[in-house]
Amino acid sequence: MTGRILLGLALLFLLAFLAAPEVFAPLFQPLTRNDAPAIYTQTSLLSLTLSHLAIVAAAVAASTVAGLVLAVLVTRPAGREFLPLARTVTAVGQTFPPVAVLALAVPLMGFGTGPTLVALFLYGLLPVFENALAGLTSQPPHVAEAARGMGLTPAQRLWQVDLPLALPLVLAGMRLTAVISLGTATIGSTVAARTLGEVIIAGLLSSNTAFVLQGGLVVGILAVLIHHGFQAAEARVRRRTGQG
């Protein structure tokens, strides 16, 4: 109950701050120097937040589709030999620094959202792939026997049994990818993507701690809310599939 109250208060604070950030100027004023502005006004904080969320959502969706398809392919008899290769590719995607991906993507794609999406997509593949793989390969033996007893084809078993039972773990992978991407997306502002990193970078360049805190605070609250939202969805799916 206490956790839900705190989450509700965090959501209310975030909505109020994004709707009327100037109201919170006295709260951030002590963090400024030399009469610098306490609230970032060069671009609407609400529009930056919505753009940030849109980029993260697109990247998470792409990572989820690619990771899930890859996990399905390597758990089928014809694709099992490609499992080591798939694991290597997804691991490299996360270990390769996003900043380096941006540096390589900008000459090919230009400045803007594109390079950021590529970096987040590669960075988010591993959690989804590994969780989907675990979900698809950890089915109880009696489930497989029941599916065979019902005369389900491999395709029917995949859609009607395997994927529904693996969904909680897939959602857990999406949760990790979403939270990681929320923080990592801030670096997209270095290549002109419209993210909350713009506020943080402006604060660093002007030595204005208030701006840095504002950008970090919004990203942090969003990460907590999305994390708990996915957790609630996972619990609901587990109950519906009889796993909770």
CATH topology of domain 37-240: MetI-like fold (1.10.3720)
8 Å CB contact between 90 and 83: no
Q: Residue 69's pLDDT is what? A: 95
- Checking if the pLDDT of 22 tops 80, the result is yes
* SS3 of residue 243 by DSSP: coil
Structure tokens given for 237: 């799916």
Q: Residue 243's pLDDT is what? A: 73
8 Å CB contact between 23 and 16: yes
- Give the predicted TM-score (pTM) of the model: 0.91
Q: Residue 210's pLDDT is what? A: 94
**How far apart are the C-alpha atoms of 167 and 169, rounded to whole Å?**
5
Evaluated on CA atoms 150, 156, 159, 162, the torsion sign reads positive
Q: Reduce the secondary structure of 12-65 to three states and give it as a string.
A: HHHHHHHHCHHHHHHHHHHHCCCCCCCCCCCCCHHHHHHHHHHHHHHHHHHHHH
Query: Nearest-CA neighbor of 222 among 5, 19, 13, 37?
Result: 13
Structure tokens given for 157: 């078993």
Structure tokens given for 207: 């030595």
8 Å CB contact between 58 and 164: no
Helix axes 197-206, 45-74, angle to 10 degrees: 120
8 Å CB contact between 52 and 43: no
Which has more pLDDT, 150 or 211?
211
* SS3 of residue 112 by DSSP: coil
Lowest mean pLDDT among 67-76, 145-154, 173-182: 145-154
User: What is the band of 244 on the pLDDT scale with cuts at 50, 70, 90?
Assistant: low
